[in-house]
Amino acid sequence: MIDTIVVGAGIAGIATARLLHGAGRRVVVLEGRDRIGGRMWTDRTAGFSVDRGASWIHGLVGNPLTELVAGVGMRTVESTVGSFQAGGRPIANYDEQYGLLDEQAASRWVADVEAADRQLQAAVAASEPGANYAQATERALSALEWDPERKARVQEFYRHRIEEQCGAFIEDVAAHGLDEDTIDGDEVLFPGGYDALPRALAEGLDIRLGRTVKAISWSTSGVHVETETESFEAANAVVTVPLGVLKAEAITFSPELPEPVSSSIDRIGMGVFNKVFLQFRERFWPDGVYAIRQLGAASVPWHSWYDVSAVSGKPMLLTFAGGRWGRQIETMSDEEIVTSVLASLRRIYGDAVPEPVGHWITRWGSDEFARGSYSYIAAGASHADHDAMATPVGGVLHLAGEATWSVDPATVHGALLSGHRAAERVLGRPVALGSLLDVVAPSATPE
């Protein structure tokens, strides 16, 4: 008999399976896709790596991923994003008339955000239960005696910050929605592709691709799991599918998931955050610039472009579409999206912006195995809902994944740690997270 069925071969599922397998348990991983990695998806069709899904380690200090990627032998490139930072890196900021801010004006802009953030911190702390982030930012800015344009510029910055951090509209996110958003240490990207990590950790595991789980029946004596073509019996199951799949009720649970799991699934939001990569023959943006940022009213719909040339080895910019705009672009063709991005860039750089020689566009909201990009604290939800979602069910059923980890949701390391927790609960004892590396050698890394 199978000891544990793990549903989903993303990093949470693979970590769970790896730790249980190392403890001598018989584990079968069922994955609906034709690949492993889930929302860690590296596209290598162009001859270099493009991470369509997760890209960064968010903070190297105290992060379990730091030791893992070093142990697997993955090469990294420092690229610190922070919390959609106003400064701290070489950023080319452009005003509402598409003019480049000089050093003095850029310093004033960073100082404005810092001043507004101090007010925002107080406004969030004073917010009532159920208040949203838009209300908190409006309260913060109303306390500053600034002219309307100055306030509007910071308000747009806050709107875009929420779109990037949560994949949601500013009014949909709880006032406390960014409380957990802290970065300790540098952030890094992966020239060889981030999915090298789950691929290395998956070595030797029984992972069955193309098995979409449709139904799970559970009782205190075990679980019965059904795919479109097969059924499996096991002592227990760990379900690691994204929150969007659970919210869509793509898997039927019998009996239904109890409280507090079900209500937490309902309350937590699932954001949409899409990427648009544009590759050019030659760079047209300034040397030494980490990011290009359009400020104020002119920052709609495209506002930031990140230079990721060091990762691909080609002149390449990456821009994002989050929240409502992220969902809207999924109804557009690739050509329409690229044309729209180029139009915004040409307002800044004019005819110097050529046609791209390559592009990559994601559509995570319409991906049937994700139905969104990552979770966020929706208005009316709380950080406690993340952990409550992982409450063991009947002693045999466990949920894991980034949405179930309250300290760092929406991150790869949050998903990894949730898988570690699930494995410990199945085993009924502690297990060292570092044991993930016991079966992995650097030579296994698929660069």
Task: Give the H or E element holding residue 222.
Answer: strand 222-227
Which positions ≥6 away from 246 have C-beta within 8 Å?
239, 265, 399
Among candidate residues 407, 376, 390, 369, the one with its CA nearest the CA of residue 164: 376
By CB atoms closer than 10 A (0-12, 13-18, 19+), residue 249 is exposed
> What mean pLDDT is predicted for residues 302-309?
95
Model confidence pTM above 0.75: yes
Among candidate residues 249, 265, 236, 266, the one with its CA nearest the CA of residue 389: 265
CB 264 within 8 A of CB 296: no
- pLDDT-derived band at 444 (thresholds 50, 70, 90) equals very low
- pLDDT-derived band at 440 (thresholds 50, 70, 90) equals low
Give the per-residue pLDDT at 443.
43
- For residue 364, give both structure tokens: 């995570």
Please give the DSSP secondary-structure letter assigned to residue 76: -
| pLDDT tens, residue by residue, 242-300 | 999 999 999 999 999 999 999 999 999 999 999 999 999 999 999 989 899 999 999 99
By CB atoms closer than 10 A (0-12, 13-18, 19+), residue 293 is buried
Helices (H), 99-218: 103-125, 133-142, 148-166, 196-201
Which position has the higher pLDDT, 445 or 373? 373
Please give the DSSP secondary-structure letter assigned to residue 10: B
Name the residue type at position 384.
A
Give the per-residue pLDDT at 88.
81
Distance CA 350, CA 345 (A): 7
Which positions ≥6 away from 394 have C-beta within 8 Å?
218, 219, 220
> What mean pLDDT is predicted for residues 367-373?
98
Q: 149-158, 285-294, 411-420, 431-440 — which is least confidently predicted?
A: 431-440
> What mean pLDDT is predicted for residues 59-77?
91
- For residue 403, give both structure tokens: 């949405």
| pLDDT tens, residue by residue, 109-126 | 999 999 999 999 999 999
Mean pLDDT of all residues in the chain?
A: 94
Pairing of strands 273-279, 316-322: antiparallel
CB 29 within 8 A of CB 35: no
- For residue 114, give both structure tokens: 């810092």
Among candidate residues 371, 402, 155, 386, the one with its CA nearest the CA of residue 271: 371
Angle at 304 between CA 76 and CA 342, to 5 degrees: 110
Give the SS3 label for residue 415.
helix
Q: Quickly count: other Cβ atoms within 10 Å of residue 447's Cβ.
A: 13
Task: Give the H or E element holding residue 279.
Answer: strand 273-279
Distance CA 291, CA 305 (A): 6
- For residue 246, give both structure tokens: 């659970």
Distance CA 445, CA 447 (A): 6
